[in-house]
A and B are shown apart, each in its own frame.
Chain A
Amino acid sequence: MPYLPAGLPLPQPTDADAPFWEAARRHELVVQRCTECGTFRHSPQPCCYNCQSFNYEWVKIKGNGVIFSYTNVVHPVHPALKDRVPFNVVLVELPEAGNVRIVGNLVDTPFEDLYVGMPVEVTFDDMDEGTTLPQWKRAS
């Protein structure tokens, strides 16, 4: 069961991030890296903020991260979440990829146990036939 219910908006891939979502479908986490200067970036962009190159690659990472910050959403703002509050949202820093940060949910841990600095690892929620979301669980 995915952490969040069906009916939430799901991503519409674009030129800049389609490979990210295709990798997630294969249960792989990839991060965009400039092939000119090696700078990682997220969310995906067509151009490197450091050297302005349009050349980049997608680097597959193991998916070990650290909680950078978090919230617990109690007030639902989307109809699909009406009966699914509270839920957490986490911002995960990825030391494997230049400390870029990525948004997700910590799927296996009660909010009370969440803390900044908590080690986490990637997991995947298959939302429908076309979409998989990278997610996070407590590091084993």
Chain B
Amino acid sequence: MSDWPMKDKVAIVGIGETEFTKWGQIKRSEFQLGLEAILKAIEDAGLSVKDIDGFASYSMDRNEPVAIATALGVPQIRFSNMFWGGGGGAGCGAVHNAAMAVYSGTANYVVVFRALCQGQFGRLGGPVAGGPRPQGEWAHSVPYGLMTAGQRFAMQTRRHMHLYGTTSRQLGAVAVACRKHAQRNPRAVMYGRPITIEDHQNSRMIADPFRLLDCCLESDGAAAIVLTSAERAKSLKHRPVYIMAASQGNGPRQGSGNMSKPNYDTANFEEVAKDLYERAGVTPKDIDVAQIYENFTGMVIMSIENHGFCKRGEGGPFVEGGRIEWPDGELPINTSGGNLSEAYIHGFELVTEAVRQMRGTSTCQVKDAEICLVASGPGVAPVSDMIVRR
């Protein structure tokens, strides 16, 4: 039983997305895309911009609430919030923060959004962190050519392979599952481009053990949701999708990247997942469908372990044999195609997909799905989680 006071007290009542494309293909500004996704979410909820009084985002989204509110004509902002941390670790964390604002009565209708045009602002996997003269942590990795998240997570995945016998084909099973799901989703960037495990094995090496098809897409697009109280949600357009629980943070010294974090072969979710299940009052067995952020395939395997779907070290075998595939797998994941095959909107497209699953409108709809897990940003710190229900 949960004694978390916020359980089921806040609901997602609207979702909105722009089109998703490969990076560099959308000519409208990233700011405009953010506005479009937000307006769609407001319309989907059956609300007006006049109702909106809060905004939250993450990963240093460039589009500040005050600018958005000015452009849209929002009459009053009561809450605006940026979640610290890089990558997609705070996708659910931003929703969590917004939900706290709603639950506390600080704001009534809060938009959570992420707008990301890698074509306009640079590819995340390309430029070198720390600049030409890196300091601090970067000074102890960048000069050695260790410059990207993918390379750091490659080393963590290699360690996982060493300890538990995880194989490249098991990494490939994650990529194949997500691509399979994208074949039913016309919005997906990789719609119409199926892959096999052999395609994965033959794709070029990026940073061993990661091949090209182990890596997420680089995309342009935006996605947004609207939150309000469970009470207000009852009178809106859609059946509410309730936030059963949310959690955020990380364990000891997980900010120390590839150096001395004591727990190394992990996606950093162990502590966060424990909080999550306790707050929701459910166990991994109760999860019908999961949206698990894929920056790189190996981190999905560690995320599955961290969330208790199998024991530590058993994530490789777990993802094989169609177990994570719709419609027959015991844990279908990333049913829209995810970061690997739908689009990389820093995982916020996984949040909107979770809502579709709970509404019964996914293109890979899990039959009778009632509870969906969303896990944001494996391997970074902080990470965040939520469980939603219909």
Q: B154's closest neighbor in chain A, by CB? A: A71
Question: Which bracket fits the contact residues of B?
Answer: 35 or more
Question: Which bracket fits the contact residues of A?
Answer: 35 or more
The residue in A12, A14, A69, A100 that gathers the most chain B C-beta atoms within 10 A of its C-beta is A69
What residues of A have a CB within 8 angstroms of the CB of B159 in the complex?
Answer: 68-69, 116
Q: Are A78 and B128 in contact, with the CB atoms below 8 A?
A: yes
Q: Is A17 an interface residue (CB 8 A)?
A: yes
- CA of A11 to CA of B151, assembled, Å: 19
Q: Is B260 an interface residue (CB 8 A)?
A: yes
Q: Are B143 and A8 in contact, with the CB atoms below 8 A?
A: yes
| Inter-chain residue pair count (beta carbon < 8 A) | 125
What residues of B have a CB within 8 angstroms of the CB of A102 in the complex?
Answer: 140, 259
What residues of A have a CB within 8 angstroms of the CB of B130 in the complex?
Answer: 9
Q: Is B134 an interface residue (CB 8 A)?
A: yes
Given known pairs A17-B139, A91-B155, the reply for A9 and B146 (CB within 8 Å) is no
Q: Are B144 and A10 in contact, with the CB atoms below 8 A?
A: no
Given known pairs A74-B207, A77-B148, the reply for A9 and B155 (CB within 8 Å) is no
- CA of A11 to CA of B135, assembled, Å: 6
Which residues of A in the span 1-49 have a Cβ within 8 Å of any Cβ on B?
Answer: 4, 8-14, 16-17, 41-44, 49
- CA of A75 to CA of B296, assembled, Å: 15
Partner of A104, one of B126, B131, B134, B144: B144
Q: Are B141 and A103 in contact, with the CB atoms below 8 A?
A: yes
- CA of A131 to CA of B259, assembled, Å: 21
Q: How many whole Å from A16's CB to the nearest CB in chain B?
A: 7
Q: How many whole Å from B313's CB to the nearest CB in chain A?
A: 15
Q: Are A9 and B208 in contact, with the CB atoms below 8 A?
A: no
State the A residues within 8 Å of B (CB): 4, 8-14, 16-17, 41-44, 49, 68-75, 77-78, 81, 86-87, 89, 91, 100-105, 111, 116, 127, 131, 133
State the B residues within 8 Å of A (CB): 125-128, 130-137, 139-148, 151, 154-156, 158-159, 162, 204-209, 252-253, 256, 258-260, 264
